[in-house]
Structures are given as C-alpha cells and as structure tokens.
Amino acid sequence: LTALHVRLDHPTQHQLKLVFNRNFFALDVDKIINRITSSCHQCASLRQVPSAILEQSTSEPPSCIGLEYASDVLRRAQQYILITRETVSSFTTACLIDNETAVTLEEGIIRSTLPIHPKEAPLATIRTDPAPGFNSLAKNHRSLSHYNIKLEIGEAKNVNKNPVAEKAVQELEREILCQDPSGKPVSDVTLAAAVSTL
C-alpha cells in the first residue's frame, strides 16, 4: 500500500482505496489507508486546514461622528486616568479616577463621555478591554443605558482588541511627559492641558 501511495503521487484516501480494491483484497483497508495518508508529510501539507472557531474580521466604519468610542485606563505614578476617544475624529477626553472598580469606571465613563455625547443623542457604543471592572460594568449597566451608552467588550484572546484606546493611552502618556517631565502624579490642570494638546 505504501509503494502504491508513492507511485500514485500522493492521492487522496478515496483514490487510493479505489485503486487498491481494483486489484487486491485486505482486511481493515480503511484503517491502513488512513494511517498511511496521515503519516505522509506531503499529504498533511495538502490537507485543508479547518476554519477558525472565532471568525476574525474588520468592523465597518461608523456611519457618522459621535456613535463609536473607545475607553481604557492609563496607570501612571500611582494614579488611574480614564481615557475616552471618539473613533472617527480622535477627539479625546480624560479624567482622574480613584480605582478600577465597576462603580468608579461607570462614573468616569459618564463624566468623560457626556461632554461630547449628550444623552439625547443616538446610542453610543464604547469599546473597552476585558478588564474585570469593565466586564462587571457591561453585565450590569443600568446607569449607562440611562445616558444612552452601551459597552462593547473586546475579545480577550485578540491582541489588537482595543487599538483606538491603546493608541490614545500612548499619546496621552507622551503628552503628560512633555507637560511634566518629572514623572510625578498629575493634577487636573496638567491633565486638562495634555488632553487639550491632543
């Protein structure tokens, strides 16, 4: 069977079985053919790879400004800074928060989003990473829905789950260093100056 497999230039299991059954008879032919084709490196390289369990795709661009946002927390000098960025225009807001609990994150999201998205506007979707506080907030978001805000949690295993917010974090951190190179905790005024420069 192995010699026949090599001579036929790496056929499929079905082709190999047809050729073998034409001239020979053996017990457990299916198992033997399966073992030969599974141990063949060229057959394995030609085999179709199963499709991904979670399909990856790019998202459609927003239809207008002010509907899609991204948020993340910048940890710096023992401070937590919640950053929210509008996806299309890259307009950025930020505020200091005490910790990363769901209640604090909820207040921070409302404080940073309301100046650029009034609650009478259409539903705003804010993309976040799957941190425990954001996950808890996404499951119980009555206050956010009152302000017409919905959280969208990024896929945990995707490295690029929240690129807009991660870029905003890098830019704000660089701008804070330009405003205050000492690396000390920032005041509200310094943070406002850094955000206005962005």
pLDDT digit string, tens, across residues 113-124: 988 888 888 899
Q: Greater confidence, 59 or 110?
A: 110
- Torsion angle, alpha carbons of 113, 117, 119, 123, to 10: -100
pLDDT digits (tens, 9 = 90+) for 29-79: 888 877 877 777 777 776 776 665 556 666 677 778 888 999 999 999 899
Could you tell me the pLDDT band of residue 140, with boundaries at 50, 70 and 90? confident
Q: Greater confidence, 141 or 172?
A: 172
Could you tell me the pLDDT band of residue 2, with boundaries at 50, 70 and 90? low
pLDDT at res. 69: 94
- The contacts of residue 130 (CB under 8 Å, 6+ apart) are 153, 154, 155, 156, 161
